[in-house]
Amino acid sequence: MKLSDDFDARRLRPRQSGSWRLRLGAALGALLAAFGILLSMAGIASLAGRAPVLGTLGDSNGEAIALLSIGLLLFWLGIVFWRRCRRRLRRPSDLSLSPHLMKKRD
């Protein structure tokens, strides 16, 4: 089989996007999850009646439950965002060829 002169194998492969965006997104997702854990711990401490650090923020049970629910929501969103970025970082960007189409090597 003869290859033509205008054939360029680089066109077959997708262009590599900057992985720094995905790494930054994964770091922000992990930071968001950590902030959610801290906020939910503050809500739990406020529900237990041991929240002198929060001042007037967690005086009532309603505010403490709001802190706990917002913290759990931030934790969940951070984990989802972090996992999505890590999955895209790990995704192979090579050509997908079936193993039975490859040449056999001795």
Query: Which pair of structure tokens corresponds to residue 86?
Result: 């890590």
Task: State the Rg of the chain over Cα.
Answer: 25
For residue 44, what are the CA distances in angstroms to 40, 49, 69, 77, 103?
A: 6, 9, 10, 19, 61
Residues 24-48 pLDDT 10s: 999 999 999 999 999 999 888 888 8
What's the length of the chain?
106
Residues 1-21 pLDDT 10s: 566 666 666 666 666 666 788
Prediction pTM value: 0.67
